[in-house]
Amino acid sequence: MEPGGLEWLLVPMQQLVSWGAAGAMVFGGVVPYIPQYRDIRRTQNAEGFSTYVCLVLLVANILRILFWFGRRFESPLLWQSIIMIITMLLMLKLCTEVRVSNELNVKRRSFAAADSKDEEIKAPPKRSYLDFDLNYFWHWSKFTDYVQCVLTFTGVTGYITYLWLDSSLFVETLGFLAVFTEAMLGVPQLYRNCQNRSTEGMSIKMVLMWTSGDTFKTVYFILNQAPFQFSICGLLQVFVDIAILLQVYLYSHYPQKPVSHTAHPASTKAL
């Protein structure tokens, strides 16, 4: 059979592989959050998931979308950011509803200050983001407060990006900040493991999912010649995942002296 006779089969297969890789890139990042979402709904307990994960991923993906306006990259990467933002908002909505329903001593905390005297009389004094009290930042009582915060951040950064869109230095820095923020998502877990000298309570299967997902993502960046920021920070993310896996091995085979610490979520990156 002539070499050209297989083209009718190879071309469609290559196209299918390309579509499959793009689909995995778009939806693969949200897969780890599906079982966590279902578990929270089933148990009505959101203590095992840190909403700061949502904050980091929202910031990272909003910046990545803004970066796209300055330097167009692969469409699947753009859609990945959109899907991830929607997923994180859904996670925030569920976690907020569950947390508030489980609070015995309800204290209204909001993104915007109260502007109604009647409301202040009927309810306890509100905590406001505008008070710059970091103890209550990103720990509000209504999902709409998170939406307001996200929209405010998007509006401010979008306006700044519009003003500086012609600056290549600004655009490249924006892209770096976007992927670097996401790459640092596993560092708090790495640091916490070092402090506790243990990986107890952390899902090893989840770390393996991070590693495989981040590896696939980095290879995708390199093969599709994505902006260099994506490849560099993707490699950094894989190194962090591998470091956490090394902690699992070391602390399981060479147990350290236990350190007293308060209970903490099973993961600060994803569950």
Here the tokens at position 121 are: 């009389």
Q: CATH 1.20.1280 residue ranges in the chain?
A: 185-256
In this prediction, residue 33 carries a pLDDT of 79
Question: How, if at all, do strands 109-110 and 127-128 pair?
Answer: parallel
Cα separation of 184 and 229, whole Å?
Answer: 14
| Type of residue at 140 | W
Q: Which residue has the tokens 């148990």?
A: 43
pTM of the model: 0.73
pLDDT tens digits for range 170-192? 998 998 898 888 888 778 777 77
In this prediction, residue 123 carries a pLDDT of 46
Contacts 24+ apart (CB under 8 A), 116-121: none
Check: CB of residue 226 under 8 Å from CB of residue 73. Answer: yes
Under CATH, which number does the domain 185-256 receive? 1.20.1280
Average pLDDT, the chain: 77
pLDDT tens digits for range 199-223? 765 567 767 877 888 888 888 888 8
pLDDT tens digits for range 53-98? 889 899 999 999 999 999 888 888 899 899 999 999 999 999 999 8
Cα separation of 197 and 118, whole Å?
Answer: 51
The DSSP annotation for 37-90 comes to: HHHHHHHT--TTS-HHHHHHHHHHHHHHHHHHHHS---HHHHHHHHHHHHHHHH
Q: Is the pLDDT at 268 greater than 60, yes or no?
A: no
DSSP class of residue 112 equals: S
Of 230, 216, 205, nearest to 36 (Cα)?
205
In this prediction, residue 36 carries a pLDDT of 76
